[in-house]
Amino acid sequence: MNKTYITTAIPYMNGDPHIGHAMDYVQADVCARYHRLLGDEVRLQAGTDEHGSKIFQKAQDLGLPVKEYVDSNVAKFKDFIEKLGISYTDFVRTTDDFHEKRCQEIWRQLKEHIYLGKYEGWYCTGCERFITDKEYDENHGVCPDHQKPYDKLEEENYYFRISDFKEQVIAAISADEMLILPEFRKREILKLLEETPDVSISRPKSQLTWGVPVPDDESQVMYVWIDALSNYLTVLGYPEKDISDWWPAEAQFVGKDILRFHTIIWPAMLLGLGLPLPKVISSHGMILANGQKMSKSIGNVVNPIEVLDKHGLDAFRYFFLRRIDTFADSDFTWEKFEDAYNNELANDLGNLAQRLATMAAKNNFRLATEPDYELPAEYCELMNNYEYNKAFDYVWEKVQGLNRKIDKEKPWALAKEGKLDELEKCLAGLVDGLLQANQMLSPFIPNTADKIYEVFGGEITPPKTPLFPKN
């Protein structure tokens, strides 16, 4: 049995979950469920990123002890992940004792690539990133994402010698040994890599205390990204445990805004540890609200719980996995969400299941043999290429094809005319087609797939309530 490890980015615990946070989770969950369908044993990691200046400052602004503040946010995110039906197997908080200890071990193992230096330059707390002079000039000193002036830092800290690994990382990315998706981001990253100097990887405690202490130097804490990226390994038990069954990861899901950390610092860390690079880093776009970036100051942040409550979990997953582009920035609006629910889920799939089950039950039809389908090659190719929108479209065309087949073959007329053999054949084709599509739907909308299987898998009884009730 293949062992497959899949990861999600760990969100900062500086606020409530918003719909943008759902993307890593739903995509990684589709990947995990698909691999389980292929028969793999899968581990899916999730977790929370709890250190750094941004979180510390926010807790201070709110007048709360920082641990208490992150604890309350972690509870909200855990609740959110449960509500999204994410089939994770492992969870890590970066304030977990096991994580901090393993992180320090990782630092020790990287020691020959770490040196003490002096950082004089810029930092964006919103991005939790050291900013180069070039970027500072290009952006006229103000972070375009956070609309805040960069902070000037003059401090002693540790540097990670990225230059020790640059050539190897460039070669691995160029040869797709670590495949960056979508393809067009590869060029951007390669250019960025060429320009990347050695990076600062610690902060003096005089500036920031909220972090993992640097081993053997009481005056420094680790830069939050070193701590955060390590989660993918610490959650597996690295370095005490042999992780070779699980590492390298099959796929790591991240947003495009944090792709650079996962394709520059992260592979360099892995090479420094003597570990292989992940097979795929898949980066999704940003979710916009009415074409605009969601932000608390604009007041257009969409609460995911409200979206989940509106039509339930699978409507949420449907929208974010089919109507939202897998890789490009896409817009959430309530109109689009309602339209997808009413015209696609309720009309295409819900009605199909209802009509078919009603006809099958009325005519005492059931499949002669237990269904056992092979996944179509076309579907597998799209899934293997992480083209989740397109794979979902492919299945949806099958669903729509079944609706056309019902309208064309008119099983109700065959029943009326007493053409029982033809009726049997027609219903068999339809039920078979639906169950086959249903298997392909199961990574995307697992609860609905379970319900459809319950209705059609054995003796057919129509669902008591519609799968997607209109209200």
User: Cα Rg for the chain, rounded, in angstroms?
Assistant: 25
> What residues between 243 and 272 interact with ligand MSP by CB under 6 A?
254-255, 257-258
Which residue in 241, 296, 410, 416 is the catalytic one?
296
To the query of whether residue 99 is one of the catalytic residues in this protein, the response is no
- Least separation in angstroms between residue 177's CB and ligand MSP is 21
Angle between helix 351-362 and 388-409 (nearest 10): 40
Q: Which of 21, 33, 35, 129: binder of ligand MSP (CB under 6 A)?
A: 21
Q: Which of 5, 6, 23, 445: binder of ligand MSP (CB under 6 A)?
A: 23
- Least separation in angstroms between residue 315's CB and ligand MSP is 19
Residue closer to ligand MSP, measured from CB, 229 or 423: 229
To the query of whether residue 18 is one of the catalytic residues in this protein, the response is yes
To the query of whether residue 311 is one of the catalytic residues in this protein, the response is no
| Residue 17 interacting with ligand MSP (CB under 6 A) | no
List beta partners, residue 181: 282
Q: Are 9 and 253 in contact (CB under 8 A)?
A: yes
| Residue 324 interacting with ligand MSP (CB under 6 A) | no
- Least separation in angstroms between residue 188's CB and ligand MSP is 15
Q: Could you tell me which stretch among 224-232, 361-369, 388-396, 408-416 binds ligand MSP (CB under 6 A)?
A: 224-232
Instruction: Report the distance separating Cα 328 and Cα 316, nearest Å.
Output: 18
CB neighbours of 323 closer than 8 A, spacing ≥ 6? Answer: 330, 336, 337, 340
| Residue 229 interacting with ligand MSP (CB under 6 A) | yes
- Backbone torsions φ then ψ of 152, nearest 5 degrees: -90, 130
Which residue in 146, 256, 279, 336 is the catalytic one?
146
3-class state of residue 128 by DSSP: coil
Q: Which of 84, 228, 426, 427: binder of ligand MSP (CB under 6 A)?
A: 228
| Residue 100 interacting with ligand MSP (CB under 6 A) | no
- Least separation in angstroms between residue 14's CB and ligand MSP is 8
- Least separation in angstroms between residue 132's CB and ligand MSP is 19
- Least separation in angstroms between residue 129's CB and ligand MSP is 10
To the query of whether residue 426 is one of the catalytic residues in this protein, the response is no
Instruction: Report the distance separating Cα 140 and Cα 138, nearest Å.
Output: 6
Residue closer to ligand MSP, measured from CB, 283 or 442: 283
- Least separation in angstroms between residue 141's CB and ligand MSP is 22
Instruction: Report the distance separating Cα 50 and Cα 44, nearest Å.
Output: 20
- Least separation in angstroms between residue 449's CB and ligand MSP is 25
| Residue 286 interacting with ligand MSP (CB under 6 A) | yes
12: DSSP letter: B
To the query of whether residue 256 is one of the catalytic residues in this protein, the response is no
β pairing state of 3-8 and 251-255: parallel
- Backbone torsions φ then ψ of 113, nearest 5 degrees: -105, 10
Residue closer to ligand MSP, measured from CB, 261 or 444: 261
| Residue 12 interacting with ligand MSP (CB under 6 A) | yes
Q: Are 116 and 158 in contact (CB under 8 A)?
A: yes
Per-residue H/E/C for 26-76: HHHHHHHHHHHHCCCEEEEEEEEECCCHHHHHHHHHHCCCHHHHHHHHHHH
Q: Are 396 and 348 in contact (CB under 8 A)?
A: yes
Instruction: Report the distance separating Cα 119 and Cα 403, nearest Å.
Output: 64
| Residue 33 interacting with ligand MSP (CB under 6 A) | no
Q: Are 303 and 261 in contact (CB under 8 A)?
A: no
213: DSSP letter: B
Q: Could you tell me which stretch among 6-14, 60-68, 186-194, 311-319 binds ligand MSP (CB under 6 A)?
A: 6-14
List beta partners, residue 180: 281
C-alpha closest to that of 367 among 459, 248, 251, 252: 459
Q: Could you tell me which stretch among 85-93, 156-164, 223-231, 407-415 binds ligand MSP (CB under 6 A)?
A: 223-231
To the query of whether residue 124 is one of the catalytic residues in this protein, the response is yes
- Provide the terminal-to-terminal Cα distance of the chain, rounded to the nearest Å: 45
| Residue 29 interacting with ligand MSP (CB under 6 A) | no
Q: Minimal CB distance to ligand MSP: which residue?
A: 255
| Residue 287 interacting with ligand MSP (CB under 6 A) | yes
Size of site (CB under 6 A) for ligand MSP? 19
To the query of whether residue 416 is one of the catalytic residues in this protein, the response is no
User: How far, CA to CA in Å, does 344 sit from each of 341, 393, 470?
Assistant: 6, 11, 12
Q: Could you tell me which stretch among 8-16, 79-87, 105-113, 369-377 binds ligand MSP (CB under 6 A)?
A: 8-16
| Residue 24 interacting with ligand MSP (CB under 6 A) | yes
Burial of 413 (0-12, 13-18, 19+ CB in 10 A): exposed
Catalytic residues: 18, 21, 124, 127, 143, 146, 293, 296
**Residues within the interface to ligand MSP (CB under 6 A):** 9-12, 20-21, 23-24, 49, 228-229, 231, 254-255, 257-258, 286-287, 294
